[in-house]
Structure 1
Amino acid sequence: MAAEGGGRAAAGRLYLVDTIAGDPEVLQADAETYYEKLLKKSSTPDVFSIPGGGEVKLEDSCVCFVPLYRNNPTCKLLLLTDPKDKETVLAVYLSQRWWPVEDVVKTADPARDGLVLVQTFGERIVLFVLNCIIFGMLEGSSANDAFFLPHSATECAKILWRNGEAAAFYSVKMKGSLCDGTTSQCYLLPVLDTIFVRRKYRRGGLGMKMLHDFCQSFLAEDALGISCPISAAMYQVCQKFLQAHPEEQKRLWEVEAPGDWSQRVNIWLKIRMESSPSGKAEVGSCMEKTSTSKPRQSDVDQMNKGIDCFSEVGQVARNAMEKKDDAAAAETLNSQGPEEEDLKQGETPKDQVFSPVAERRLCKEVNSRRVLIILNRSSSL
């Protein structure tokens, strides 16, 4: 007996995000019942028809539960992996059927177009698939890529829908929200925390579109943050955006949590210093910060408690975290990764360079140590 793959969804335009309903706990209980059935090892196991051809036997060795949320390891999704490649997730089990990964991120609802705030349980699943499966396993193979843990159950996020499918997303740490579950520190400004554009939608200005939406969503704020470290590709997006929107040059900062003034670096100023011959030699010393992108131990411990899957899949997550650690240690602003090539821009136009007066005004917003350093170099910028 063949389990339904992409055929029914394509023919009837029934996609998970449009149709899923009911209590998430009931849906998970249904998945657990199905998993127990697989453990009995039927002599004639069902098969999953892979969209595009091929079949996979539905056996317990090919499925695993993974946490849907960072802060709630008890809420889990049942995934089907390729028996020949455990890094490849083929489908998600919900509502008594297997949904191919590509169908999970599709919609038949014309109202889902452009940037849409994540609100429903179905949209949370789409966000998880984009973040942890498509980016984390299928498209995040480059050593220069970041590594994102699952979002929390209440994370503020938007999905960018285009042509009936999810093309990108970004998430925000809201001002006043807790930095993590182990301290009482709260974010002192809104921070763009994660952002991702699918490969087939790159070079289309979606990164700029999401950055602009982020800025427009917090017009009353004097300062906005982007979580550090910022990748070289994202710096290219920031440079192009700030050239097109000079009014935002003073508002965007690369920040560490919780984002006080000693943990902020103005992004436009850093770009200008990096492009200056004298500033490039000193940017490391005057802008040096400790990377906070490495998953916190509390997050890792929490994830491990909720993961009920086989050792091969667990090794995939550990390898991804190790690759992120290596990438964070080796990354420089001038590194050339695949995403950066997609977003490469030219040199900063001369008419965008700060005048001495404008530069001094910006420097007043930086802490006193950086003010002295920058003013001493103003003649060379």
Structure 2
Amino acid sequence: MLPTPPLVTGWLGVCHHLLLAFSLVVAVYLKDSWWATEDVLRTSDPAREGLVKVQSFGERIVLFVLNVVIFGRLERNLDDDAMFFLPHSGKEEAKILWRDGAAVGFYTTKAKGSLCGDGTGTCYLLPVLDTVFVRRRHRGQGLGVAMLRDFCETFPDDEALGVSWPISPAMYQVCRKFLLAHPEERARLWEVEPPGAWGQRGSIWLKVQLQQAGLPAPESA
């Protein structure tokens, strides 16, 4: 049995504790009790269904568990160093995907005008879809496409939207399916490196067309 730590009262404290027990994470200590990770991801609120914007401290905990514990430790190929999401800051915009009372995925965005990173004065020039995750047993059901569609619908007035470079093979397939079904979005969806200037953008639709024609796609944005 894991020893009971002092009551964790802050977001950084929760993160710190989980990271200390990273190889053994099976529970999270909240409100004087241990909670199994699967229980942390459940809700009794019937209003939580579909994509819900992360706003509360509790939702930040759910986002952290999905990202660092479920994806980072349990459902990621640990040999794939290219696929790893850092813990999201409290200022990062995110939505959690809820289905039948459980959190099954999430996506995060970099807002237009937000800083590209600590210690830099450079800001993103367009909204950017930064991370997307769907739990293994819920994949193959179009949820990734649904999250990409929600991202695009959230910014109807922006002429250009970004997806963070490099796009993984799985995310590329999501983009391909989405753009084949939504031709109106083909001209404004770009693979981007921060901050997203024109020289840092690559057309995702062009990449789809080149691959369909059996031609080599551009290597980077």
Using the size of structure 1 for normalisation, the TM-score is 0.54
After superposition, the Cα gap between the structure-2 partners of 1:226 and 1:253, relative to the gap in structure 1 and judged at 3 Å, is same
Q: CA deviation at 1:59?
A: 3.5
Contact 1:81 1:89 in 2 (8 A): no
**Secondary structure of 1:161's aligned partner:** strand
Distance of 1:150 and 1:138 partners within structure 2:
15
Pick from 195, 217, 224 the counterpart of residue 132 of structure 2.
195
The 5 Å alignment of 1:307-326 reads: none
Distance of 1:94 and 1:267 partners within structure 2:
42
AA paired with 2:157? A
Contact 1:185 1:258 in 2 (8 A): yes
Q: CA deviation at 1:121?
A: 0.3
Q: CA deviation at 1:77?
A: 4.9
RMSD: 2.4
Distance of 2:18 and 2:176 partners within structure 1:
39
After superposition, the Cα gap between the structure-2 partners of 1:108 and 1:181, relative to the gap in structure 1 and judged at 3 Å, is same
Of structures 1 and 2, the one scoring higher in RCO (CA 8 A, sep 6+) is 1
**Secondary structure of 1:194's aligned partner:** strand
AA paired with 2:220? K
Task: Considering fraction of residues, name the structure with more helix.
Answer: 1
Pick from 56, 60, 66 the counterpart of residue 120 of structure 1.
56
After superposition, the Cα gap between the structure-2 partners of 1:75 and 1:198, relative to the gap in structure 1 and judged at 3 Å, is closer
The 5 Å alignment of 1:1-381 reads: 57-59=1-3, 76-79=15-18, 87-141=23-77, 143-144=79-80, 146-277=83-214, 279-280=215-216, 283=217, 287-289=218-220
Contact 2:202 2:220 in 1 (8 A): no
Contact 2:27 2:34 in 1 (8 A): yes
AA paired with 1:288? E
AA paired with 1:137? R
Q: CA deviation at 1:259?
A: 0.3
Larger radius of gyration: 1
Q: CA deviation at 1:146?
A: 1.1
Percent identity (aligned):
57
**Secondary structure of 2:71's aligned partner:** helix
Using the size of structure 2 for normalisation, the TM-score is 0.91
Distance of 1:272 and 1:143 partners within structure 2:
31
The aligned length equals 219
Distance of 2:32 and 2:23 partners within structure 1:
24
AA paired with 1:187? Y
After superposition, the Cα gap between the structure-2 partners of 1:113 and 1:165, relative to the gap in structure 1 and judged at 3 Å, is same
Contact 1:79 1:90 in 2 (8 A): no
Distance of 2:38 and 2:99 partners within structure 1:
14
Offset from partner CA, 1:258-290 (integer Å, 9 cap, x none): 00000000001011112223x32xx3xxx2338
Distance of 1:262 and 1:199 partners within structure 2:
35
Distance of 1:258 and 1:146 partners within structure 2:
21
**Secondary structure of 1:79's aligned partner:** helix
AA paired with 2:196? G
**Secondary structure of 2:17's aligned partner:** strand
Q: CA deviation at 1:249?
A: 0.5
After superposition, the Cα gap between the structure-2 partners of 1:81 and 1:99, relative to the gap in structure 1 and judged at 3 Å, is farther
Contact 1:112 1:164 in 2 (8 A): yes
Structure 1 unaligned spans of 5+: 1-56, 291-381
Q: CA deviation at 1:162?
A: 0.1
